[in-house]
Amino acid sequence: MKTKFVTFGELLLRFSKQDHQRLSQGDYFTSKYGGSEANVAVSLAMLGNDVQYVTRLPDTPVGHTGMQNLMQLGVDCRHILFGGQRIGTYYMEPAAGMRSAKVIYDRAGSACSEIKPGMIPWREILKDAAVLHISGITAAISQSSADATFEALDIADELGVKVAFDINYRKNLWQYGADPRQTLRCILSRCDLMFGDAIEFEFLCQRKQPPFTATDSSFQMQMDEYRAWFDDLHKEFPRCKKWLMGMRNIVASNHHLLTALLWTDGELLKAPINDINGVVDASGVGDAFMAGMLHALRAYPDDSQMQLNYSLAASTLKNTIPGDFNLATDEEITALL
């Protein structure tokens, strides 16, 4: 049985000021590597999976250090390409109290944004893969990167590889003229498992849903409305057999309510509502959801409720870990459960 996961997307370098300072304050930046698909790869490796990450990095010390960072965490990087002039970056101003976080991207002309179809040996990479994980971010950064994403999808279909898709809609990245909703829906029509947060679901499907306004774990979900909503989605995109929606209500920067819904085989399941009072870093929480679900599908193949609860627990623990990567272990996740 094939067991390898493959993730494809851009590795980023994240810059922040220390101690919750604004970008306009202080003299020093701290830096960490991250990026949605790399985050998923690291989480899967931390949980003991065989996972390979595919990207393109500049042939510079910054690019090679990024690859080494991933390899130290157990990610197979043998098919990372080198070329181009720079790594994509972003600047993050952490949330504090009632002040929201702020993200500023600087990714134009990055090595990964210049990736093109034909550069990546997808047949070699995917020949022994079980799952290809992609996200909407890779299709957003450039036309050539979007074309490379669809090339990967074509070869995954040819080889019978399952596709896991994270919507990851980032409005500010779509600058090259493509229609983001149309492009993302085209990817969705070709995936087997889809993840997104509630706002991304609404954007992609142009349909309002009941708001998640929990302020404690006793909040009652409107399950009948959600069930009808997911049933209609599945009729429109019948290939996708599992729909995972993460839901978060932010009471304050360090106090979040987190839950999730999973539609699978015509059944809608809900996870507990986790009241997280002590959030350290909410970056990569969605990626932890996706990685947790991919791991749980293999670890608990006959228990959909456990799959959902496991993915929520993995995501919950990510809120306690600085940086983009979820460094929680399987033992820690199952202990939280």
| Distance of alpha carbon 324 from alpha carbon 108, whole angstroms | 21
Report whether 190 contacts 157 (CB < 8 A): yes
- Find the domain containing 169 and state its range: 4-336
E strand spans, 167-304: 193-197, 242-252, 255-264, 267-270, 274-277
Tens digits of per-residue pLDDT, 155-183? 999 999 999 999 999 999 999 999 999 99
Q: Work out how many domains the chain is built from and give that number.
A: 1
SS3 content of the chain, % helix, strand, coil (to 5): 35, 25, 40
Is the whole-model pTM more than 0.85?
yes
Q: Output the six-digit token pair for 120.
A: 């990546």
pLDDT greater than 90 at residue 212: yes
Tens digits of per-residue pLDDT, 251-307? 999 999 999 999 998 999 999 999 999 999 999 999 999 999 999 999 999 999 999
pLDDT of residue 1: 80
Percent above pLDDT 90 for the chain: 86
| Distance of alpha carbon 305 from alpha carbon 260, whole angstroms | 11
DSSP 53: E
Work out the average pLDDT over 30-49. 97
Residue 161, domain CATH = 3.40.1190.20
Tens digits of per-residue pLDDT, 40-85? 999 999 999 999 999 999 999 999 999 999 999 999 999 999 999 9
